[in-house]
Amino acid sequence: MDRSDLFQLASLLLTYPDEELLAAGDELRAAAAGVGEFERFVEWLLTGTPTEVQRHYVETFDLRRRSGLYLTYYLHGDTRKRGMALLMLKQRYRAHGLRLADGELPDLLPIVLEFAATAGPGDGEAPLRQHRQGIELLRSALHEARTPYALILDVVCAQLPQLTGEDLAALTSLAFDGPPVETAGLDEVGLGPRLEVYR
């Protein structure tokens, strides 16, 4: 399986397991053939009932902030920098003639993986490299939760550059402190500093 196919399949497997996805069992098995992690994940996906795997998806990605699929959150939290990062991602997609479906955020990992598969190793994979730390944090959280979705992240991370010492230090800090928090603008609603400094 080449990198493009690998990222495309990872993108598909990280989407919500709706009826259409689950009905494509034979196609998924064929696509996953030869990649052990994908093969094991697809077997798990197709062995459970639709209700079970759908509930598992929601509990894994929608109800746990530590394992959300929105990559800019890991790096920027809910700050204004995140808004700029989202805008830059949208502009990158547009430069390649791609548009998001209504209501989709550009940093959703399945979308970032689809872009990597479509646009290729250089510009297409740049967002994956840029958000390498967030992807690694997500992978760690999925392993801690003992979810089969960790298998998909294992495959994705194996295709990305190795973490540097600087990356590992930043990861430790992010894991301990969490994403950045912005307090600007809270003064106006009475939630700013309560102490004044007198000289």
Do the beta carbons of residue 127 and residue 92 sit within 8 Å? yes
The SS3 call for residue 70 is strand
pLDDT beyond 70 at 190? no
pLDDT beyond 80 at 177? no
> How far, rounded to the nearest angstrom, does the alpha carbon of residue 77 sit from its chain's CA centroid?
14
Chain segment 5-38, per-residue pLDDT in tens: 999 999 999 999 999 999 999 999 999 999 999 9
Chain segment 113-143, per-residue pLDDT in tens: 999 999 988 889 999 998 998 899 999 999 9
A 10 A CB-CB count for 9 gives 22
Do the beta carbons of residue 10 and residue 113 sit within 8 Å? yes
Residue 173's pLDDT is what?
Answer: 57
Tokens 């959300």 identify what position? Answer: 68
Cα→Cα distances 128→44, 89, 157, 198, Å: 26, 11, 9, 48
Chain segment 31-90, per-residue pLDDT in tens: 999 999 999 999 999 999 999 999 999 999 988 778 999 999 888 877 788 889 899 999
Residue 175's pLDDT is what?
Answer: 60
Burial 105-143 (b: 16+ CB within 10 A, else e): ebbbbbbbbbbbbbbeeeebbbbbebbbbbbbbbbbbbe
